[in-house]
Amino acid sequence: MAGPGPSSDAPATQGVQQFNLEGKPIPPLPANATNEEKDQHWFKHVYVGDKMPQLTLRAVLTGGILGMLLAASNLYTTLNIGWAFGVAITSSVISFVIWSIITPLVGCRKMTILETNCMASTASAAGYSTGSTIATMFGALVLLTVVPEGKTAEDIKTWNIHPAWLVAAFTLATGLMGVFLAIPMKRQMINHEQLPFPSGIAAAETLKSLYSESKEALQKAYVLIVGLGIGAIVAVLRTGQGTFQFLDKFYQTTKLEIPQHLPHEGFTKINDRQIMGYSVDTSVLLIAAGMIVGLRVSLSMLLGSVILYMWLGPQLVAMDDANAGKEGYIASIETIAKGTMYHFPRWGLWGGTALMVMASLTALAFQWKTIVRAFAKTDAQAGSASAATEAEMKKVEVPFIWMVIGMVPITIAMIIIQMVAFSISWWAGLIAVAMSFVLSLVASRATGETDTTPIGAMGKVMQLLFAVLKPGQVVPNLASAGIAANSASSSADLLTDLKIGYLLGANPRRQFLAQFWGVFFGTLAIVPIWYLMVPTKAALEKLPAPATQTWAKVAEVLTKGLDFLPHSAKVAILVGAGVGVLLPLIEKFLVPDKYRKFMPSATGLGLSFMLPFYNSLAFTIGAIIAFVWSKADKRSSNLYNVPLASGLVAGESLIAALIAMLATASGLLGWNL
């Protein structure tokens, strides 16, 4: 599940004289310009890709290293809150600060803006486009692994379920598929249709501001770095005793340890059992995420959590108590921790999943024009450019033959992987790859028009298709969805990066190569990170992992049927599905545009039933902080809210992920830390 793009950071530029990177004015493009005129205008007035360094070794290495680190950060956030955050702006700011320090020390040339853009493309491919399949598809398969009799979830090692070669090959192939599938879409969606890709606009303007070295731009960079530092410190102080000896000594000496949660004394017990998740979280990551997503989503999450924890959960516990011992009755609320705690989200995820899936599919149905446009236009249909213009563009655009050369071995590799590892027949594997192109096309257009990538909906479409093609089989269901979701998210994210390059006048061919190499960096990092962060099934079960839980539960319902569920869960699925359909319908047809911001968010409501109460509360605290800040000082809020929050998210998640990996490695290697 992708997080919202930072489109709120994009400045209004319409009606303002624009200049290219050489400082030359860019004349406005006529509203009725043909595709040929658009290409000529861009090449003549914007393109500077041959006039300054772009694809350099240091740009690729910097982007690869930052992307590897941010891949760990995004895997951590996905497993904890179900969101992955775009890394283009964060990596650009960090790189700018790093090279601003290094340049005067070693006397090297300053990194150009196009080098930084290339670096960001590498970082995005490494940090965003490689991890979603592992967190969701492979994570769901781990959750659905049956624990043998006499064993516990702690005995189920992740690397024994799926060997490293499989995870690496699958991740690399799906990530590269997204890169190559973006080739035929780029010129149509970005050059000719001029789709906005709002996050791309925001990132391009951020880069321009940084390189103008204006006071405000530099302050935003430093605010993000401060956020990184604060998040890192909080992650260390929240690690807890018993993880490392050196940290235990530090806590005892300084008394600076921060507890993971602040327990809430009211309504915390039913039948002498604790209620899991009913507390206050001390994570700044969750608060920062609320600062980014805003009041609507956060308050919707809090509303759903209050309903679940204060009304529905206790009601279901009472119903279970009244029917205990009756033949055929399946308890609604599971207990955990050897029967000492109630876990409300394990029931709530059924309704939450149904709500989110149906809301996504309904919203996708409303975008039927987007879907039609995705298939109604091609470069051949959109108008032919003159020979001169076409020759100029061919020098810089990625040739279509590159896609053919890339997709042939990728398709063969994907079919072999599906046949060997997931027992999917070759024809079904070929359908999965073909559908990935179709769904990537839809997802990329949705991102270009709305700045929202419907990754969940793309995965669910594939799960529904394979429920028909391979009925009753969980593994093919999840594997096919993983192919579609990862290729769709990868192509949409990389098209956003290509939008940045288009606005800056970069050479798209060199940018494509940066993205290509970024996938290798990301795969190299994310596979060991996955095994270190989630070494066992028990380790994954301790995490909220809402996106992973969604994939697993949809696969269960589609392949096993509803008979194994409690009656209340079946009702929750029906109610959640109904609400998921109704909310987009009401919002579209009954609520005026100016009042839609007051409508509950389907995403927020759905997530609230799958996350602990403290997650929703922390999100809301962050959203309220951002709201009050905007009312007190709108200018500083607009400038610094997103950089500060992005820094907090990246700082805490990165250090927390590194600590988790180090703890696993020290246990495996017998280190006494």
Q: What 3-state class would DSSP assign to 26?
A: strand
* The model's pTM: 0.74
Between CA 359 and CA 457 the distance in angstroms is 9
Confidence at residue 194, expressed as pLDDT on a 0 to 100 scale = 80
> To which residue do tokens 């759905």 refer?
606
16: alpha, beta or left? (left if phi > 0; alpha if psi -120 to 50): beta
Number of other residues whose CB lies within 10 A of the CB of residue 528: 16
Between CA 652 and CA 74 the distance in angstroms is 11
Q: Which two tokens stand for residue 299?
A: 């308050």
One-letter identity of residue 108: C
HSE, CB side, 13 Å, CA atoms: give it for residue 596: 13
- The interaxial angle of helices 113-127 and 474-504, nearest 10 deg, is 170
- The interaxial angle of helices 426-450 and 474-504, nearest 10 deg, is 40
Strands, E, within 174-252: which ranges?
Answer: none
Confidence at residue 6, expressed as pLDDT on a 0 to 100 scale = 34
Between CA 36 and CA 445 the distance in angstroms is 22
Number of other residues whose CB lies within 10 A of the CB of residue 632: 9
For the CA atoms of 567, 568, 572, 574, the dihedral, rounded to the nearest 10 degrees, stands at 30
Between CA 8 and CA 313 the distance in angstroms is 37
Q: Are 535 and 230 in contact (CB under 8 A)?
A: no
Confidence at residue 620, expressed as pLDDT on a 0 to 100 scale = 92
Burial group, residue 177, by CB count within 10 angstroms (0-12, 13-18, 19+): buried
| Residues of the chain with confidence (pLDDT) below 50 | 1-15, 265-266, 374, 377-385
Between CA 177 and CA 436 the distance in angstroms is 9
Between CA 356 and CA 606 the distance in angstroms is 5
Confidence at residue 513, expressed as pLDDT on a 0 to 100 scale = 92
Confidence at residue 371, expressed as pLDDT on a 0 to 100 scale = 53
Between CA 424 and CA 420 the distance in angstroms is 8
Between CA 442 and CA 453 the distance in angstroms is 9
HSE, CB side, 13 Å, CA atoms: give it for residue 404: 3
HSE, CB side, 13 Å, CA atoms: give it for residue 99: 23
Q: What 3-state class would DSSP assign to 281?
A: strand
**Angle in degrees, CA 424, 429, 430, rounded to 5:** 155
Length of the chain: 673
Q: Any residues with CB less than 8 A from the CB of 631 and at least 6 apart, and which?
A: none
Pairing of strands 25-26, 261-263: unpaired
What are 171-219's pLDDT values in tens digits? 898 889 888 888 878 877 888 778 777 677 777 877 887 787 777 777 8
Between CA 284 and CA 656 the distance in angstroms is 12
Provide the H-helix boundaries in 46-146: 57-81, 88-106, 113-127, 132-133, 139-143
Q: Any residues with CB less than 8 A from the CB of 573 and at least 6 apart, and which?
A: 350, 351, 353, 354, 557, 562, 565
Nearest to 80, CA basis, from 160, 3, 159? 3
Confidence at residue 2, expressed as pLDDT on a 0 to 100 scale = 44
Nearest to 88, CA basis, from 175, 2, 202, 173? 202
Q: 192: which DSSP letter?
A: I
Nearest to 607, CA basis, from 548, 555, 559? 548
Pairing of strands 273-275, 341-342: parallel
Nearest to 535, CA basis, from 672, 673, 656, 664? 664
Nearest to 273, CA basis, from 347, 342, 320? 342
Pairing of strands 273-275, 269-270: antiparallel
Q: 382: which DSSP letter?
A: S
Q: Which two tokens stand for residue 578?
A: 């109904």
